[in-house]
Amino acid sequence: MRFLITGHTGFVGAWLTLYLRELGQEVCGLALPPYVGANGERGLYDLARTGEALRSDLRVDIRDFEALKEAIEAQKPDFVVHLAAQQLVRESFRAPRLTFETNVMGTVNVLEAIKDADVKGAIVAATDKVYKNVSQIWGYREDDPLGASDPLSGSKAAADLIAQSYIARGDYKIPIGIVRSANLLGGGDNCKEHLVVDLINACKNGAAAKLRNPKAIRSWQHVLDSINGYYMLALRLIDGSLPDGAKDGAFNFGASAESSDSVGSVATMIVDRWGEGAKMWEFEGDAENIKEEETLGIDSKKAKFYLGWDNKLDLERVIDWTIGWEKEVFNGADARSVSQRQVKEFLSL
């Protein structure tokens, strides 16, 4: 089967590429060039030579409808996974127009580009940030109200609703799934202003990472657990086997309740796992005064009930696998080999 991934040069897209290839699927990619950090830090796509695993590797901006439509028609995918997005909260405050153009109209463009194609299904990746956050201590469910507290959550909630509107259209024949995940960890993330990326870079440089909000509670999940859910949903969309109660589109694929912990606690675990040369993190206030939610979690019972999905890795193993990957590659191991080994081990669990 031929999968097309938008945003395949990003962290999740690169891991999804390797995961699908390990399962024997054919993969096409469509994205902007991979992000390179301010100090030349490369992400998984570059480090693991992920492009070599692709049938085609295209550079297309999803805001350019004509170029997008032409590229998708040329690749003739069986299934589309739409990951391409501006996904950073803090960047969304600095560049709200770019954020909305990419996340809102980019999603419209993808869904319009595939509506006349011979596609068996599509997944639109949302986020836990689409939910109206009322600081509840239990996880948000798929039928909880959507809302926004910043340009990122607003744009992703809008994209989520756009996908829902296409699902509800009587003349749109392609089955669509919406997936909501958050705080995905794993080797090869180089995204700026991601907590774990900053912590790992500090460990590599023998410096103390600065934390803005160490008391904030988050759920922590390995990227392979999340994309395993995406794949399980994709197969059910393709064969049409979802029961009526699950055809409303949205599925949470979040970490277990046991994998929720404070930012400070997880930061300490990362420093401890890195070991020699790592310095303990330090608290530093937010100079930009950008508000971030104190508590955020999602309930994944729907995915467990309808898809039989569950997380394979608990918090301890999530940290072990992430830091293990980073330390091996930092010490000279081949990133492609380390990544493939982790995918194989994950699938064997």
Q: Are strands 260-262 and 217-219 parallel, antiparallel or unpaired?
A: antiparallel
| Count of C-beta atoms within a 10 Å radius of residue 164 | 17
Of 76 and 210, the one with more pLDDT = 76
Q: Name the strand (E) or helix (H) holding 121.
A: strand 121-125
Could you report the per-residue pLDDT of 161-195, keeping only the tens digit for each? 999 999 998 889 999 999 999 789 999 999 987 88
pLDDT averaged over every residue in the chain: 93
For residue 317, give the DSSP letter.
Answer: H
Task: Report yes or no: 83 and 7 within 8 Å, Cβ to Cβ.
Answer: yes
110 in a structural domain: yes
Phi/psi of residue 295, nearest 5 degrees:
-135, 135
What is the spatial distance between Cα 84 and Cα 218, in angstroms, rounded to a whole number?
23
Nearest to 309 by CA among 235, 237, 229, 230: 229
For residue 345, give the DSSP letter.
Answer: H
pLDDT at 138 over 90: no
pTM: 0.95
Nearest to 316 by CA among 221, 235, 178: 221
pLDDT at 235 over 60: yes
What is the spatial distance between Cα 216 and Cα 207, in angstroms, rounded to a whole number?
22
What is the spatial distance between Cα 125 and Cα 211, in angstroms, rounded to a whole number?
28
Of 7 and 246, the one with more pLDDT = 7
Tell me, what CATH number does 302's domain have? 3.40.50.720
The pLDDT score that the predictor gives to residue 53 is: 95
Percent of the chain whose pLDDT exceeds 90: 80
Integer CA distances (angstroms), 49 to 103, 226, 297, in order = 27, 22, 33
pLDDT band at 136 (very low <50, low <70, confident <90, very high): confident
Q: Name the strand (E) or helix (H) holding 239.
A: helix 223-239
Could you report the per-residue pLDDT of 87-97, keeping only the tens digit for each? 988 899 999 99
Q: Hey, what amino acid is at 178?
A: I
Q: Which domain holds residue 171?
A: 2-184+221-257+290-313
The pLDDT score that the predictor gives to residue 280 is: 93
Helix %, strand %, coil % of the chain (to 5): 45, 15, 40
The pLDDT score that the predictor gives to residue 98 is: 97
344 in a structural domain: no
Nearest to 44 by CA among 183, 182, 184, 189: 189
pLDDT band at 6 (very low <50, low <70, confident <90, very high): very high
Nearest to 220 by CA among 176, 274, 182: 182
The pLDDT score that the predictor gives to residue 285 is: 66
Query: Tokens 């980019």 identify what position?
Result: 106
Could you report the per-residue pLDDT of 287-323, keeping only the tens digit for each? 555 555 667 789 999 999 999 999 999 999 999 999 9
96 in a structural domain: yes
What is the spatial distance between Cα 167 and Cα 242, in angstroms, rounded to a whole number?
14
Integer CA distances (angstroms), 9 to 24, 54, 288, 344, in order = 20, 11, 29, 21
For residue 34, give the DSSP letter.
Answer: P
Q: How many domains does the chain have?
A: 1
Burial class of residue 341, CB neighbours in 10 A (0-12, 13-18, 19+)? middle
Task: Report yes or no: 128 and 298 within 8 Å, Cβ to Cβ.
Answer: yes
Lowest mean pLDDT of 3-12, 96-105, 289-298, name the range. 289-298
> What count of residues does the chain have?
349
- Give the HSE-up count for residue 218: Cα atoms under 13 Å, Cβ half-sphere: 22
247 in a structural domain: yes
pLDDT band at 286 (very low <50, low <70, confident <90, very high): low
72 in a structural domain: yes
12 in a structural domain: yes
48 in a structural domain: yes
What is the spatial distance between Cα 32 and Cα 58, in angstroms, rounded to a whole number?
8
The pLDDT score that the predictor gives to residue 296 is: 74
Sheet holding 2-6, edge to edge: 56-59, 26-31, 2-6, 79-82, 121-125, 176-180, 250-252
Burial class of residue 40, CB neighbours in 10 A (0-12, 13-18, 19+)? exposed
265 in a structural domain: no
What is the spatial distance between Cα 56 and Cα 35, in angstroms, rounded to a whole number?
19
Could you report the per-residue pLDDT of 248-281, keeping only the tens digit for each? 789 999 998 888 899 999 999 999 999 999 999 9
pLDDT at 245 over 80: no
What is the spatial distance between Cα 163 and Cα 106, in angstroms, rounded to a whole number?
12
Lowest mean pLDDT of 12-21, 146-155, 206-215, 309-318, name the range. 206-215
